[in-house]
Each structure stands twice: as structure tokens, then as C-alpha cells.
């Protein structure tokens, strides 16, 4: 029998938060993308419980716009597969994709919006770019660098957050949620002007 037709296109935006599935990764810096999507779901009454295209998804409205929230259920390095499957299945344009993820190159609590760009060494973003064949999609980058030298970056992003980070987490998730809402309601360019600041110790400023 032929496959049933896909359900109607869920909305104007696909907001995909990156992370690793499994309880052992809860509360780690590398799962901040998941945490932001969960906060958005909580605030806007969206249930992210539907398995779809190797992800958990939920449909709802944010800032009056129809939105699909997604948490890829592959491991981080394979995040591109579910993102590409959702983009293809529901016909999203790349201009309707927003990727949310942690960024070790930025200081802790620094939030940056970008219209496009490279992966900056983030393996999950590398996978998405490779799967889509393009880097032309918006991102919300969440700084996680603690401000002191890190001996092993891979170990750091997968370790539980320290007490100081946990104390900042609720405020950080609120800021990230507002940034996503602003992107959806006002567009990427205005969100960049509103949320981007020169990060201490970095040379770049979008």
C-alpha cells in the first residue's frame, strides 16, 4: 500500500533545538537547544510528544504564527537527518527554519542571532548544513564558555552544568525564548539588532 499523505503543512516556522536524547544528557550545556524548545512549549502550551521523522515534534502558535517545535532524537552529530526529513516532509523553506543550539565560542549567557553562516565547529550544525546542502538558515546561538580555560571541550559540553550555571539558567531560557518569539514576530534582522551584542573577549559582532 502507498504511504499515507503527509498531514497539512504545520506552519510558517520550524524551530529545531539541538541536543542529545537520553536522561544522562539532561542538564548539560550541549542540551540547551532542547531546553529552549521545552521552555517555548511550556510558555505557549505546545506538547512536544509526537514522534515524526526521527524527532519529537509539537505544533502550535507563537506570536500568532503557526510553528512546529522539534527535538531531533538522533545523537547530536546526526541532527541533520531529522531536520532534513521534517523540511522535506512538510515543505519548509530554509527561510522558515530556525536552529537553536549551544555555542562554546561564545561566553556563558551570551545570546546571538544569525541569519546564516558556518558551523563554527559545532558538529550538530555541521550535520544540518551537510544534510540540507546549505547554510542559509537562521540560528539562535547560546554561549556556554565558562570564562576560564577548558582542557577538554567535548567533555565540558557533556558534563552537568555547575551550580553557577544552574542559577543563571532560568533567566537564560527566558531570554532565548523571547529571542525566538521576536524572530517569529519581527524577523531575523530586527532580532539581530535587538539581541546581538559584542561578546566579551571576541572580535565578531553581527
Q: What is the pLDDT of residue 154?
A: 85
pLDDT(9) > 50: no
59 in helix, strand or coil? strand
Which of 11-15, 53-57, 149-153 shows the highest mean pLDDT?
53-57
For residue 4, name the pLDDT band (cuts at 50, 70, 90): very low
Q: Which residues are catalytic?
A: 30
To the nearest whole number, what is the mean pLDDT of the chain?
90
Q: What is the CATH number of domain 13-195?
A: 3.40.50.1470
Report the run of H or E that residue 102 belongs to, with start and end: strand 97-107
Q: What is the pLDDT of residue 197?
A: 66
Spatial separation of the C-alpha atoms in residues 99 and 192, rounded to whole Å? 15
**Which phi and psi (to 5°) does residue 68 adopt?**
-105, 120
- Neighbouring-strand partners of residue 15: 69, 98
Alpha-carbon distances of 60 from 46, 48, 123, 175, rounded to whole Å: 6, 10, 29, 20
Q: What is the pTM of this model?
A: 0.89
| Count of C-beta atoms within a 10 Å radius of residue 77 | 11
What is the mean pLDDT of the segment spanning 40-61?
A: 97
Dump pLDDT digits (tens) for 178-193.
999 999 999 999 999 9
Cα atoms in the Cβ-side hemisphere of radius 13 Å centred on 43: 19
N-term to C-term CA, the chain: 50
Residue with more model confidence, 8 or 56: 56
Residue with more model confidence, 154 or 188: 188
Amino acid at each position: 500500500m502507498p504511504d499515507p499523505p503527509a498531514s497539512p503543512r504545520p506552519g510558517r516556522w520550524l524551530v529545531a533545538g539541538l541536543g542529545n536524547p537520553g536522561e544522562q544528557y539532561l542538564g548539560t550545556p550541549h542540551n540547551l537547544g532542547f531546553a529552549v524548545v521545552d521552555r517555548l512549549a511550556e510558555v505557549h502550551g505546545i506538547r512536544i510528544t509526537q514522534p515524526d521523522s526521527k524527532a519529537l515534534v509539537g505544533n502550535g502558535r507563537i506570536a500568532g504564527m503557526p510553528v512546529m517545535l522539534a527535538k531531533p532524537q538522533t545523537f547530536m552529530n546526526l541532527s541533520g537527518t531529522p531536520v532534513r526529513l521534517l523540511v522535506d516532509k512538510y515543505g519548509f523553506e530554509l527561510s522558515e527554519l530556525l536552529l537553536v543550539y549551544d555555542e562554546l565560542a561564545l561566553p556563558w549567557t551570551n545570546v546571538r542571532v544569525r541569519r546564516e553562516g558556518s558551523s563554527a565547529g559545532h558538529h550538530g550544525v555541521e550535520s544540518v548544513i551537510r544534510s540540507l546542502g546549505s547554510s542559509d538558515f537562521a540560528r539562535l546561538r547560546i554561549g556556554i564558555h565558562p570564562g576560564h580555560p577548558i582542557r577538554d571541550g567535548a567533555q565540558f559540553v557533556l558534563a552537568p552544568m555547575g551550580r553557577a550555571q544552574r542559577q543563571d539558567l532560568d533567566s537564560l531560557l527566558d531570554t532565548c525564548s523571547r529571542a525566538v518569539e521576536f524572530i517569529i514576530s519581527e524577523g531575523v534582522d530586527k532580532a539581530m539588532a535587538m539581541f546581538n551584542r559584542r561578546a566579551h573577549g571576541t572580535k565578531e559582532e553581527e
